[in-house]
Amino acid sequence: MPIRLTTGGRAEWVKLVAERVGTDLMDTTTDIGGEFSAALIRGIFDQWHVSFMQKTDGEADDDGEVWKPLAEETIQRKVRGLESGKLKGQTDRLTERSRTLTERFTAELVRQGVDAASARQRAAAWAWRAAQFRPADRVPIGIETHRLEESLQPGTAAGNNYGRSSPFQVAERTAHEIVIGTEVENDKGRRYAHWFHKMRPIFTDPQMLRWVKRAAVAALRDIRPRIQEYFE
């Protein structure tokens, strides 16, 4: 379910950014615009993934959004899958996966202004829950194959290049348009993010607007030296 962030159409998401930073930065075909948009995309996914991880544990995210709990039969199905060993994350890769996720989640939180010690403690708890299934009363929401969760993880921003975190992650740029989102597929090749979103929204319009604003501020901070060079 890709989301289009443009200077037209759903203008409130990106137009206000263009008005604040100027049209050069919103032209993704220029070097400076490419750097800004790469950092902007990473910053949006930073917040999107943190929100997903909060809600998957049955908690409200930082914007107060919360998902409805799983049905009892769904919990039991997942527990049976755990016991049969069919669900991903039940191999000896658990510890290594948890360690890798801890580092990634910690970096996300630190970029959002959380102090390092608190970020690591919070990230470690998320990472272990994301890496495994828990007892019946602690089955995570929306994490089974990990494909959806991984498709929302922030990728890498290096210069004007953005590297996706997953082959299912959408991160496309044209001159004045950014398209982000997820087109995650099941084992049969069917896309299912839009169906999940209808049941448990992975973002709301007001929330996306806040994420774009915060990501734009962070992106401007990250590339400030390049902006100064560009406009000199």
Residue 91: per-residue pLDDT = 43
Collect all residues with Cβ–Cβ distance below 8 Å to 155 and sequence separation of at least 6.
41, 42, 45, 162, 163, 164, 165, 169, 171
- Return the half-sphere exposure (C-beta side, CA atoms, 13 A cut-off) of residue 175: 2
**CA distances (Å), origin 104, targets 43, 99, 136, 169, 197:** 13, 9, 27, 17, 24
Gap between the Cα atoms of 127 and 104, Å rounded: 9
Does 103 map to a domain?
Answer: no
CB atoms < 10 A from the CB of 204, how many? 12
- Tell me whether residue 180 is in a domain: yes
Q: Determine the pLDDT at residue 45.
A: 93
Quick one: pLDDT at residue 167?
Answer: 92
Q: Do the domain assignments include residue 22?
A: yes
Virtual torsion, Cα 115, 218, 179, 203, nearest 10 deg? 40
The pLDDT score that the predictor gives to residue 231 is 63
In a domain? residue 136: no
pLDDT of residue 27: 72
User: What local confidence, expressed as pLDDT, does residue 140 receive?
Assistant: 79
pLDDT of the residue at 154: 92
User: How far apart are the C-alpha atoms of 82 and 144, rounded to whole Å?
Assistant: 10
In total, how many domains does the chain have? 1
Give CA–CA dist 165/2, Å, rounded.
15
Query: Low-confidence residues of the chain, pLDDT below 50?
Result: 7-13, 86-93, 133-137
Mean pLDDT estimate for the chain: 76
pLDDT tens per residue, range 14-25: 555 555 555 666
Record the pTM. Answer: 0.72
pLDDT at 6: 52
84 inside domain: no
pLDDT of residue 144: 74
pLDDT of residue 162: 93
Q: Is residue 141 part of a domain?
A: no
Burial class (CB in 10 A: 0-12, 13-18, 19+), 108: buried
Range of the domain at 212: 1-68+176-232
What is the chain's Cα-based Rg?
18
Asked if residue 153 belongs to a domain, the reply is no
Q: Is residue 129 part of a domain?
A: no
The pLDDT score that the predictor gives to residue 169 is 93
